[in-house]
Structure 1
């Protein structure tokens, strides 16, 4: 039974939700931040996880039974690819379980479905960093849990919801790609499943139930909140020349069959009736 958990990335969307759930369940939790303060119900520790010694000292001081790494930066290789190795090493040294939050960006995308056994094939630097972190974590903590997730949504704090709101309120212009397909999930569902997976070694996939492109998601967000849709413009990632994976069909059939917690689809949790 988890007696103390250390959650990195407490200022992030998923990290903050995980801390809220642990606190609600009565679990002693410690969170870390780096550049931004966290809106969570516990004090947090500011730390640069790229510093191996600092990470090891923190874990040794906190003595967690579980470490969940939800920290990342799409523009910083060290934070995304290297810091997880420091944390996994430190967790292994104190006998703590370790959960590495990975991403569907480790895949290039295409018509095929990517299972837990599919080999990473990233097409951009962020995907390569996430794939490198998976390898490093396995080497540093053989019993680690690695969970690949897709887009996280569900509240107005989510990146997608905030982006749509800024577009429809004339704060910025934006194009929503119709050729960028994901399996978005509610952040609360993902957090619950990650908690359930803790302590289970191996690779796991946590997609939402529905495949949606980004234009469809924008329409669903507008319908849920009653926002106008006249400023939503469809476009193509390919035509825009923006590199990144498209049509990533993350298959979580095997993972979800072993879990009690459900993963809802965007058409359910973004329903106006929800």
Structure 2
């Protein structure tokens, strides 16, 4: 049995994880961490990592970047594998994650959907073939409560595209004013509204043809199942930084 700690257990994704975990074998949530201590969950919930007494095999984090520093210290101190699903980290925080991964295994992905990560690799191939004759635009849509914009997933896809282009490119966030589009631009557009779970579309617009690659999340369950799959993977690894490509052997 893999004993799991959920960071952000009282949040939206925390609740989805708890529900989906009941469908799985060989993995159990034994404790939670959340700033909101009002909980009727069937396991203890803590607001201080140092108070956690349970025997933990792996941690899944769907919380907030403000938790990162104390979370990494806890993981490194106890040598606990971490599945890091939170987005919106600063460049300095990314460096903290990389540093901590030298001491304990960390699985870090901007999107826990298997489909998104397969699409990322398809986009790498498509970009190498299409970039010379096509303009590339990224459109992402999320619910009105999402705080970071553009989404971590949009950057996951966008960075994969940019790394596939030998020329220097740059993001253009939205468009306004009076000027022509430049070839080096990768358009990045964010929409927020209602209860949209998550939708990402990459458009390759060429002369007389358009190619569109799109992924739509119909529920948050896909992110939970991806996180649990990552948890089962990371508990078997040595210290290091891992992602979906490693797990899926892409």
Q: Which has the higher contact order (CA 8 A, sep 6+)?
A: 2
Normalised by the length of structure 1, the TM-score is 0.45
Name the structure with the higher strand share: 2
Pair member with larger Rg: 2
What TM-score, normalized to structure 2? 0.48
